[in-house]
């Protein structure tokens, strides 16, 4: 079974916990702490199985339905704390991840500055090139802003999806689309490394 590690970043109360629990209802809340006297930070950790052959998501209670002859990925989804003070914890949780979901609150465009800061943290940890997608959340609310009016302010080149993590609108569709892109990135990266090794 192949493995893919994703991380969800975004401002406080953008809906990261709701998103992860919509993808994995059995997601767990875990604590991250560093140092004897440091503050303990809670974060969410979910797991789904993705059948890349059929582009289908399986939850934990559906594992018996998985076809082992297909290309199956174990996808872990880690949520990060959104508060400004927890930059160090976010960077630790970003390490080793294969793709970043940037979740923004479409009802709070003023919070975009925090989203941009967290994206820059991701660049510091993961380098300049890594798969990114923007999920514009809370589009079940009538006062949600059109992404075309707020996302350009981020200055990030990435696909943008309108979703409602609470209602489930577009969540699985957007997530599967991103899995396809991360898979492609990992394959290209793997081939590139093999070719580099061949010429050493």
Residue with tokens 């981020």: 154
Domain boundaries, the chain: 2-33+41-190
Q: Each residue of 68-124: pLDDT tens digit?
A: 999 999 999 999 998 888 899 899 999 999 999 999 999 999 999 999 999 999 999
Band of residue 42 on the pLDDT scale cut at 50, 70, 90: confident
DSSP class of 10: -
User: Tokens for 76?
Assistant: 């872990």
The three-state secondary structure class of 167 is: coil
pTM recorded for the entire structure: 0.92
- pLDDT score for 34: 57
**Does the structural domain 2-33+41-190 have CATH classification 3.90.1150.10?**
no
């Amino acid at each position: 079974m192949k493995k893919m590690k994703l991380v969800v970043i975004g401002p406080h109360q953008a809906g990261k916990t709701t998103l992860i629990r919509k993808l994995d209802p059995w997601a767990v809340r875990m604590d991250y702490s560093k140092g004897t006297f440091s503050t303990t930070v809670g974060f969410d950790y979910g797991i789904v199985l993705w059948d890349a052959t059929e582009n289908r998501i399986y939850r934990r209670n559906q594992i018996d339905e998985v076809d082992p002859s297909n290309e199956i990925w174990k996808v872990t989804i880690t949520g990060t704390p959104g508060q400004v003070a927890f930059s160090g914890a976010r960077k630790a949780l970003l390490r080793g991840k294969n793709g970043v979901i940037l979740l923004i609150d479409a009802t709070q465009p003023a919070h975009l500055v925090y989203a941009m800061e967290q994206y820059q943290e991701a660049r510091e940890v993961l380098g300049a090139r890594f798969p990114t997608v923007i999920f514009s959340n809370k589009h079940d609310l009538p006062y949600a802003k059109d992404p075309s009016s707020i996302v350009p302010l981020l200055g990030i080149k990435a696909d943008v999806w309108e979703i409602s993590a609470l209602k489930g609108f577009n969540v699985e569709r957007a997530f599967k689309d991103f899995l396809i892109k991360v898979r492609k990135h990992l394959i290209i990266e793997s081939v590139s490394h093999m070719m580099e090794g061949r010429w050493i």
